Amino acid sequence: MSLRWKIFSLYLIILIISLALTGLYLYRYIERSYLDNVRVNNLMQANMVSNFVSRFVG
C-alpha cells in the first residue's frame, strides 16, 4: 500500500512540475509574440504618421 502511494505521489509531483514548466513556456512564448506584435503595430503607426505628415508637408 505504501509503495503504491509513493509511486502515485511521485507521479503527481512529476505531473505538476511538467504542467508548471509547460505553463511557464507558454506564458513566455505568448508574452514574446505579444511584445513583437505591439512593436510591429507601433512601427506601422509610426510609418502611417510619417506618411501622413510628409503628404501634407511635402
Residue 14 lies in a domain: no
- Calculate the dihedral angle through the C-alpha atoms of 10, 11, 16, 17, rounding to the nearest 10 degrees: 70
Residue 40 lies in a domain: yes
| All cell numbers assigned to 13 | 509531483
Q: How many domains does the chain divide into? A: 1
| All cell numbers assigned to 36 | 513583437
Residue 33 lies in a domain: yes
Residue 12 lies in a domain: no
Residue 11 lies in a domain: no
Residue 8 lies in a domain: no
> Does the structure show a pLDDT above 80 at 58?
no
Residue 4 lies in a domain: no
pTM, two decimals, is 0.51
Q: How far apart are CA 8 and CA 41, in angstroms?
A: 49
Write down the pLDDT at residue 54. Answer: 85
Q: Which residue has the higher pLDDT, 48 or 5?
A: 5
What integer is the mean pLDDT of 34-51? 85
> How does the average pLDDT of the chain come out, rounded?
89
Residue 34 lies in a domain: yes
* Domain span holding position 36: 21-58
